[in-house]
Structure 1
Amino acid sequence: MVTPPGNDGALPAPGAFDSHTHMDVMGLPVDGVLAAAHAAGIGRVVNVGCDLPSSRWSVSCAAEYDSVYATVAIHPNETAAADGDRGSVLAQLEALAAVPKVVAIGETGLDYYRDWSPRPVQREWFRAHIAIARRTGKALMIHDRDAHEDILAILGDEGPWPPYSVIFHCFSGDAKLAARCAEAGYVMSFAGNVTFKNAEPLRAAAAAAPPELILAETDAPYLTPVPHRGKPNSPAMTAHTVRALAAVKDMAVADLCAHIQATGARVFGWNVS
């Protein structure tokens, strides 16, 4: 049985990075957030857009800070609100996506848990984001909540996909879904919830995922990992998730960090350093 690892709350994870965070809603100075992340060995941060304002903020932040990269998108829960001006919004997203430090289109996908936007509208926007990713050559960063089969079906319809071009943010499936994603070459990014006591199926999924298709993220300020659960999350805490994943996979932390660093270079197109 895969069991949750211990976590001393202090040791860093050199070479890792936060593949998905939201510093724009943390309410903290970016300089301090990044300094704490770097002290924990987290060398890069990917700040994720969920609407036009957060996408613009992410692009601006990436321009200001060398270690910050951006993604741009309309979150599936925001698609109904944006649908009245769909053409203009998509055009603005595509213009933002042309900025070199924009490394992915996302988070886009389907959310059947909240259902804040009608499912047909979500699916139309998902396909529109896929088209932008194709035209710009950027990776596709997926939000998948209770929508595994529809997500996989749309990806299949829109494929084939080059290796390392699709990322399942905050991977939420079981070991069987992890095997299906691995077969398709999709990258699985695990968040702090992999450390939760009741997350045995998620740890089993991490155990099943090939090391070369794994990333780690915070989704900060949400999903704070053990031992800080209940407090706001931040990119520095990616180190806890990396150590949890290393324990689940029975790997040395340094070896998993090397895989994560190499996978980040393949997915996001940056140089390994």
Structure 2
Amino acid sequence: MTYSADTDIPAITDSHCHLDFPDFEGQHDAVIARAREAGVTRMVTICTRLRQVPQVRAIAEAHPEVFWTAATHPMSAGEEPIVTVEELVKLAQHPKFVGIGETGLDYHYTAETKMRQQESLLVHIEAARQTKLPLIIHSRDADEDMGRILTDEHRKGEFSCVMHCYSSGPELAKASVELGFYLSMSGIAAFPKSQELRDIFAVAPVDRILVETDSPYLAPPPHRGKRNEPAFVAHTARVGAELFGLAYPDFAAQTQANFERLFWKATA
């Protein structure tokens, strides 16, 4: 069993957060210290617009526990330049750059840009292939197109992937697992009214499960309605442990192994 170096609490990783957002301005040291106290030994902070790369990269460089990724978020695809594969491959040369994302499709708020979102997604998929780094997928109200694109593209050339903050239907979850992808549990999975989502996770292989906060959003109980932060990933993980019938230390260890298998560069 792996434990945090600073405590006897089982070690765990927040695989997706947004530490560059204004919610955390001037508070990084305190937020990371609280995470460490909760057993969170690693955090992956996600850049959603390439013009934010300097700020995101600086946070990772300043804190040993923090790694970073970059992409154009699908909700920003209509107002940001289409990134090139070459740009992403160049960013991936940074020693703490560990994934391509988050990218994907969001038809809930930005359906009017769906064709541009798909164009952007294909660029990110090719960058994931070339770098061998995991793709980080955001999918909302786009299950059919997402499943089709990921399946078709995987046939053309393999890549690894995590379906971040998974809250879509059972069909996309099944297709993702069959492709060898991972499903990430956010605070949504801990909400009392999310039993259908918990049922989707419960039938997935436990060796394909990650946990995340997506902070500053989606704080799990008992912090729901407040700003989320990496320390709170432990609350979601305790729900996951119960869901899979595991003791918390065993589930935490399993998600650590899963993270290290997928985000291999974070252990290099």
TM-score, reference length from structure 2: 0.90
1:18 maps onto 2:14 in alignment? yes
Structure 1 residues 19-28 or 238-247, which shifts more?
19-28
After superposition, the Cα gap between the structure-2 partners of 1:124 and 1:112, relative to the gap in structure 1 and judged at 3 Å, is same
> Which residue does 1:74 correspond to in 2?
72
Q: Aligned-pair distance for 1:90?
A: 5.5
1:254 maps onto 2:254 in alignment? no
Q: Aligned-pair distance for 1:13?
A: 5.8
> Which residue does 2:42 correspond to in 1?
44
> Given residue 222 of structure 1, which amino acid in structure 2 is its aligned partner?
Y
Structure 1 residues 129-138 or 104-113, which shifts more?
129-138
Stretches of structure 2 that go unaligned for 5 or more consecutive residues are: 1-6
> Which residue does 1:220 correspond to in 2?
215
Partner Cα separation in structure 2 for residue 77 and residue 108 of structure 1: 9
Structure 1 residues 248-257 or 224-233, which shifts more?
248-257
1:2-32 superposed Cα distances (whole Å, 9 cap, x missing partner) = xxxxxxxxx9962211000001112342111
Task: Give the secondary-structure state (helix, strand or coil) at the position aligned to 1:23.
Answer: coil
Q: Is the 8 A contact 1:79 1:117 kept in 2?
A: no
> Given residue 269 of structure 1, which amino acid in structure 2 is its aligned partner?
W
TM-score, reference length from structure 1: 0.88
> Which residue does 2:24 correspond to in 1?
27
Instruction: Indicate which of 110, 113, 122 corresponds to 2:105.
Output: 110
Q: Aligned-pair distance for 1:56?
A: 3.0
Task: Give the secondary-structure state (helix, strand or coil) at the position aligned to 2:20.
Answer: helix
Q: Aligned-pair distance for 1:220?
A: 0.3
Of structures 1 and 2, the one with the larger relative CO (CA 8 A, separation 6+) is 1
After superposition, the Cα gap between the structure-2 partners of 1:272 and 1:97, relative to the gap in structure 1 and judged at 3 Å, is closer
1:66-92 superposed Cα distances (whole Å, 9 cap, x missing partner) = 110001000001111113xx36x6544
Identical-residue share of aligned pairs (%): 38
Partner Cα separation in structure 1 for residue 8 and residue 198 of structure 2: 21
After superposition, the Cα gap between the structure-2 partners of 1:138 and 1:271, relative to the gap in structure 1 and judged at 3 Å, is closer
RMSD of aligned residue pairs (Cα, Å): 2.1
Partner Cα separation in structure 1 for residue 241 and residue 40 of structure 2: 15
